[in-house]
Amino acid sequence: MRLEDHPAVKKVRAAQGDAPAARTKLSGTWLRQLCLDHGADDVGFVSLDREEVASQAPKILEAYPHTKTLISLVCKMNRNPVRSAVRSIANMEFHETYDEVNAAARAIVRALDKEGIGAVNAVAAFPQEMQNFPGVIWAVAHKPIAEAAGLGKMGIHRNVIHPKFGNFILLGTVLIDAHVDEESRPLDYAPCLECKLCVAACPVEAIGMDGSFNFSACYAHNYREFMGGFADWVEEIADSDSREDYRERVPINETVSMWQSLSFKANYKAAYCISVCPAGEDVLAPFLDDKVAFRKQYVEPLQHKKETVYVLPRSDAEDWLAKRFPEKTPKRVRWTINADDPFSFMFNMTLTFQRGKARGLEALYQVTFPDLGGMTAAIDIRKGVLSIEFEEAKAPDVKITMDSERFPKLFEHGFDVEGALADGTFSVEGDVALVKKLRNCWGVYGSLEGELEPA
């Protein structure tokens, strides 16, 4: 049969005349109403050629090559469940709202499709591009798009705070193949009040007073039953000699908690930063009326909650817990994001840097890898901030020369600096004490067996 004679082809050809005319520019007013009618609580529009989203453009085009505009959308969470100290209640609110963002985005995609406009939901729920793990596993980073779309700004806790709904929102992005006659612009103020309640509530001090974020602290605790925490649990099983040994390592309540996460939906262990945030016009009044009462009602129950908190050994979180939250029980867990090359290892270093441990250290290190043709990296630590560049350091305080394969060992529990200098594992030009101080800014790698040497 000739293609043109196929019944399906004939139907499509006949219908082509009735198709809606392709629109070059959509009306922003019409598009906003369409999004609100399909479940979004607020929306904004950002052209793909805008500076704020330029770094994401290649990934966005990989997801949908026809993208011209990004629709940023938010759905509100119910505040009181998110604030509950009973975290299964808060978790349900997170999961249900993720589903709502995706349902709204899907419905928008379908409605636009009917109008002849190509659209893709870039997915609000947990990222799944696991072939890239531990690299970037998400297709689109919603926060910078929401900021560009004027839907809020990241607060000290790095979540986007909507001017009206506060941080009780989850975000989504729909990619469309059309231009819109209206561009949303960023807010000209930050809704964050800098009250630091998020800092006070976080059990693992992931949020710094200055807005810095300790990725490894949040990831080790809050995400114990996701990704890396799950991998660590499986490795515990593999390492166990017997049922008794396994039970020693993993109490029964942790085993069944893992099962509940696997069979229903993964259980966030905290998210307290979101629970306590008073910012946003709809949220603010009780905080303004009585700050002490607000703290008592929403912050203290989370601070006093008796619970297991997962920490990396010798991390800032471990110190913080002992000092601030004696009612909580720390449990040491391993860092499970493996790194097989110096680039990935150094990226890991940025995620696991312990700013508290680095207090008082101001030094520039140059690391040279002879096995990589003399490639160098400059590691700078200043005012609790780490920066790593793959370039020669200008006037370094210390020069370290070491094979790239051995470099991660320098940060492992039990590495003997003097012994390694004597046997030529590495060489140091400058003050060896500074090398020891460098190691102390991490202290999370390697086996957890036995006593850790003092920092």
The site for ligand SF4 (CB under 6 A) is made up of: 155-157, 192-198, 276-277, 279
Contacts of 122 (CB under 8 A, 6+ apart): 60, 63, 64, 105, 139, 140, 142, 172, 173, 174, 175
Nearer to ligand B12, 208 or 396 (CB): 208
Provide the token pair at 442: 């991490």
What does 193 interact with, of ligand B12, ligand SF4, none (CB < 5 to 8 A by kind)? ligand SF4
Nearer to ligand SF4, 167 or 267 (CB): 167
Label the pairing between strands 153-154 and 426-429.
unpaired
Closest approach of ligand SF4 to the CB of residue 214, in Å: 15
Say if CB 455 and CB 357 are below 8 A apart. yes
What does 196 interact with, of ligand SF4, ligand B12, none (CB < 5 to 8 A by kind)? ligand SF4
Distance CA 8, CA 180 (A): 33
Radius of gyration (C-alpha) of the chain in whole angstroms:
25
Distance CA 117, CA 115 (A): 6
What does 46 interact with, of ligand SF4, ligand B12, none (CB < 5 to 8 A by kind)? none
Q: Where are the beta strands (DSSP E) in 77-186?
A: 119-121, 153-154, 160-161, 169-176, 179-180
Nearer to ligand B12, 208 or 330 (CB): 208
Distance CA 155, CA 191 (A): 7
Nearer to ligand SF4, 90 or 438 (CB): 90
What does 68 interact with, of ligand SF4, ligand B12, none (CB < 5 to 8 A by kind)? none
Nearer to ligand SF4, 196 or 249 (CB): 196
Distance CA 255, CA 308 (A): 13
CA nearest neighbour of 219 among 271, 141, 261? 271
| Structure letter (DSSP) for residue 413 | T
Provide the token pair at 65: 């090559």
- Contacts to ligand B12 by CB under 6 A: 94, 124, 127, 134-136, 138, 140-144, 157-160, 167, 169-171, 207, 213, 215, 218-219, 222-223, 268, 271, 273-274, 351
CA nearest neighbour of 284 among 198, 202, 346, 193? 193
Nearer to ligand B12, 70 or 435 (CB): 70
- Number of Cα atoms under 13 Å in the Cβ half of residue 233: 22
What does 40 interact with, of ligand SF4, ligand B12, none (CB < 5 to 8 A by kind)? none
Say if CB 132 and CB 306 are below 8 A apart. no
Closest approach of ligand B12 to the CB of residue 66, in Å: 20
Q: For residue 179, how far is the Cα from the chain centroid? A: 30
Label the pairing between strands 25-26 and 179-180.
parallel
Contacts of 17 (CB under 8 A, 6+ apart): none
Residue with tokens 């900021």: 147
Closest approach of ligand SF4 to the CB of residue 283, in Å: 9
Closest approach of ligand SF4 to the CB of residue 198, in Å: 3
What does 171 interact with, of ligand B12, ligand SF4, none (CB < 5 to 8 A by kind)? ligand B12
Nearer to ligand B12, 355 or 415 (CB): 355
Q: Which residue is nearest to ligand SF4 (CB)?
A: 155
Nearer to ligand SF4, 48 or 151 (CB): 151
Nearer to ligand SF4, 119 or 207 (CB): 207
Closest approach of ligand SF4 to the CB of residue 169, in Å: 13
Nearer to ligand B12, 167 or 366 (CB): 167
What does 155 interact with, of ligand B12, ligand SF4, none (CB < 5 to 8 A by kind)? ligand SF4
Closest approach of ligand SF4 to the CB of residue 133, in Å: 28
CA nearest neighbour of 116 among 20, 27, 17? 20
Closest approach of ligand B12 to the CB of residue 59, in Å: 10
Distance CA 361, CA 341 (A): 26
Closest approach of ligand SF4 to the CB of residue 293, in Å: 16
What does 195 interact with, of ligand SF4, ligand B12, none (CB < 5 to 8 A by kind)? ligand SF4
Q: Where are the beta strands (DSSP E) in 192-314?
A: 308-311
Coil, strand or helix: which one is 128?
A: coil
What does 194 interact with, of ligand SF4, ligand B12, none (CB < 5 to 8 A by kind)? ligand SF4
What does 393 interact with, of ligand SF4, ligand B12, none (CB < 5 to 8 A by kind)? none
Nearer to ligand B12, 159 or 366 (CB): 159
Closest approach of ligand B12 to the CB of residue 369, in Å: 22
CA nearest neighbour of 270 among 308, 232, 234? 308
Closest approach of ligand B12 to the CB of residue 27, in Å: 27
Closest approach of ligand SF4 to the CB of residue 119, in Å: 32
